[in-house]
Amino acid sequence: MLNLVLFGPPGAGKGTQSAKLIEKYKLSHISTGDMFRMHISNDTELGKRVKQILADGMLVPDSITIEMLEEEVQRNPEAKGFIFDGFPRTVAQAEALDVFLEGKGEGINGVVQLDVNQEEIKHRIAERQKVSGRADDDADKLLKRIDEYFSKTIHVLPYYEAQNKVTKVNGIGDIEEIFNNVCNAIDLLK
């Protein structure tokens, strides 16, 4: 299996690059943000529980997120590997993912960090909101999400750096060029 974590702040381009990567490497894409939004639009029990949390730009509690992610992995026994997009977002999630994958005789092969500065993120999300209509793309909610990123999610990096798994890729520039650099990083892992 080839299991990758795509890491970066909100608006880093994780979704865009994931879509291209699953095509090329035939991996299964798991975006916890997309999954939560799907639950909310289908008005499931889980959707009802997390709706306000997402709207506020806060992180969903680890226990809920980890359970949802593990179920999704279990639902895809035929997968050649996974791209984890938007997960793990806390060190507890990263630890849980390692334990879970180890239990299956698997692990994370590598982490690609999309490097984008705060100014660019704010600009991109302001543009995205014009078309996405995502409530959490609102300026004040975005600040909350950036805050969650720098207070909690950023600590996931040293966790994986200690395992020598992180490759940093410049996330600013042409989408194809970024994609090439991401692919080069992945090809070194294979």
Site residues, ligand ADP (CB under 6 A)? 10-11, 32-33, 36, 53-54, 57-60, 65, 86-87, 89, 93, 136, 145
> Taking CB positions, which residue lies at the least distance from ligand ADP?
33
> Between the CA atoms of 154, 157, 159 and 160, what dihedral angle is there, to the nearest 10 degrees?
160
Q: In this structure, which amino acid lies at residue 105?
A: G
Which CB sits closer to ligand ADP, 33 or 171? Answer: 33
Query: Nearest distance from residue 7's CB to ligand ADP, in Å?
Result: 10
Which CB sits closer to ligand ADP, 37 or 168? Answer: 37
Query: Nearest distance from residue 96's CB to ligand ADP, in Å?
Result: 11
Query: Nearest distance from residue 49's CB to ligand ADP, in Å?
Result: 12
Q: Distance of alpha carbon 118 from its chain centroid, rounded?
A: 17
Which CB sits closer to ligand ADP, 75 or 184? Answer: 75
Sheet of 28-31: strands edge to edge? Answer: 28-31, 82-85, 4-7, 110-115, 166-170
Which token pair is 173? 């520039």
Query: Nearest distance from residue 149's CB to ligand ADP, in Å?
Result: 8
Which CB sits closer to ligand ADP, 8 or 110? Answer: 8
Which CB sits closer to ligand ADP, 31 or 181? Answer: 31
Residue closest to 164 by CA, chosen among 105, 103, 108, 101 = 108
Helix (H/G/I), strand (E/B), else coil: 54: helix
The H-or-E segment that residue 38 falls in is helix 32-41
Point out the residues that are catalytic. Answer: 14, 89, 128, 134, 145
Instruction: Please list, in sequence order, all residues whose beta carbon lies within 8 angstroms of the beta carbon of residue 7, skipping any fewer than 6 positions away.
Output: 14, 111, 112, 113, 114, 156, 157, 160, 166
Q: In this structure, which amino acid lies at residue 176?
A: E
Query: Nearest distance from residue 8's CB to ligand ADP, in Å?
Result: 8
